[in-house]
Amino acid sequence: MRCLVTGGAGFIGSHAVQRLLRDGHEVLAIDDLSRGHAEAIDLLRQDAGGRLSFERVSIQDHDGLVNAAGAFAPQAVMHFAALAYVGESVQQPGRYYAVNVAGMLNLMHACADVEKFVFSSSCATYGQPPAELIPVPETCPQAPMSPYGRTKLIGEWMLRDCARAMELGGRPVGVAMLRYFNVAGADRSGLLGEDHEPETHLIPLAIDAALGRRDSLTIFGTDYPTTDGTCVRDYVHVEDLVDAHVAALDALKPGRVLAYNVGSGRGYSVREVIDTVGQVVGSVVPTVEGARREGDPPSLFADPSKIRRELGWKARAGDLREIVADAASWRTSHPGGYAQC
């Protein structure tokens, strides 16, 4: 299958490209490299046997996208390209709507002939679910609390509306919206990893603190109504997440609209993550206690039973230690990230 992957030089997108190539597909990766890494693409090309092409183009560039997609004629799209920092989205909402909403609309227009479209949505679309809806099922009302979360929810709406219009027009398309929880870990072969600038995710930050690459890790809030007072989140291994994409791609048929949570179904507190990182790296994570961050729900973890039931997907790395070990292994062997490999 010819698959177009946006954000293919980013953390999750590069792992998806790797998996698609392993499965024998032909891939066009698109990325503006604003937050992705050309090195990840170069590494992936080495074993791709000519099946990976790359275009440095922004999803905000409508004509560039039309040209790239027109020449490749994709049958499927996996759409990862986005701005993805909640805090930044509060400060620069216009940028988030421009990339995540208007950019996605450009992409949908440029790829109007595809058979299947898989979209990176987020648990941020749920906002702060009521306590009785934790673990969160897909039926939980979506009430995002940040511009970032709202852009992802609008993305879901756009896809649903366009899928319906295509069906009415006699050209049905299959679309899947995957609501990820916290994605972490790294490719088990050691080629790819997570390298964000700035880094905002807990596991890489804690690993860097344990390795002495940063002075300390700030714990935002220690007075939440959770077992140890810190926030509880659901961590999913990036390779498991990619498995979910492949399962969705396989399940998509013309006219099918799928929406799934992709998480392990288990919640870990910030302190549990810090302890696990300390054990894996073999040194204590230096921490400082800070105030709560606005909009951080106390506890957010998935009910992943729907994707298990319907697609047979389940996180293989159910244990946090495995996720942390893979992340730590890549970070330890790439002290400066991709640029230094």
Please pick, among 96, 126, 148, 338, the residue that the annotation labels catalytic. 148
Pick from 120, 125, 142, 264: which binds ligand NAD (CB under 6 A)? 120
CA 35 to chain centre: 13
- From 128, 22, 3, select the one nearest 74 (Cα to Cα): 3
Q: Would you count residue 99 as binding ligand NAD (CB under 6 A)?
A: yes
Q: Least distance in Å: CB of 13 to ligand NAD?
A: 6
Pick from 118, 183, 203, 206: which binds ligand NAD (CB under 6 A)? 183
- From 116, 152, 134, 77, select the one nearest 266 (Cα to Cα): 134
Q: Least distance in Å: CB of 153 to ligand NAD?
A: 12
* Tokens (6 digits) for 128: 């702060």
- Quick check: helix, strand or coil at residue 11? helix
Q: Which is nearer to ligand NAD, 33 or 167 (CB)?
A: 33
Q: Least distance in Å: CB of 257 to ligand NAD?
A: 19
Pick from 19, 25, 35, 237: which binds ligand NAD (CB under 6 A)? 35
Q: Would you count residue 55 as binding ligand NAD (CB under 6 A)?
A: no
Q: Which is nearer to ligand NAD, 62 or 255 (CB)?
A: 62
Partners of 237 in beta bridges: 184
Q: Would you count residue 273 as binding ligand NAD (CB under 6 A)?
A: no
- From 263, 266, 270, 265, select the one nearest 297 (Cα to Cα): 270
Q: Which stretch binds ligand NAD (CB under 6 A): 26-34, 212-220, 251-259, 331-339?
A: 26-34
Q: Would you count residue 34 as binding ligand NAD (CB under 6 A)?
A: yes
Is 148 catalytic? The answer is yes
Contact positions with ligand NAD (CB under 6 A) in 223-252: none
Q: Least distance in Å: CB of 22 to ligand NAD?
A: 18
The number of beta carbons lying within 10 Å of the beta carbon of residue 332 is: 12
- DSSP label at residue 290: E
Torsion over CA of 177, 59, 30 and 71, rounded to 10 degrees?
100
Contact mark string toward ligand NAD, 75..94, x via CB under 6 A: -----xxxxx----------
- Quick check: helix, strand or coil at residue 31? strand
Q: Would you count residue 176 as binding ligand NAD (CB under 6 A)?
A: no
Give yes or no for a cis peptide into 135 (omega within 30° of 0).
yes
Q: Which stretch binds ligand NAD (CB under 6 A): 10-18, 226-234, 263-271, 287-295?
A: 10-18
Strands of the chain (E only): list them. 2-6, 26-31, 52-56, 76-79, 116-122, 174-180, 182-184, 217-220, 232-233, 235-237, 257-262, 268-269, 287-290, 299-300
Q: Which is nearer to ligand NAD, 83 or 281 (CB)?
A: 83
Q: Would you count residue 138 as binding ligand NAD (CB under 6 A)?
A: no
Cα separation, 79 vs 111, in Å, equals 11
* Tokens (6 digits) for 297: 């729900």
Give yes or no for a cis peptide into 335 (omega within 30° of 0).
no
Contact positions with ligand NAD (CB under 6 A) in 192-221: 196
Q: Would you count residue 182 as binding ligand NAD (CB under 6 A)?
A: yes
Q: Which is nearer to ligand NAD, 70 or 212 (CB)?
A: 70
Residues in contact with ligand NAD by CB under 6 A are: 7, 9-13, 31-36, 58-60, 80-84, 99, 103, 120, 122, 180, 182-183, 196
Catalytic residue set: 148
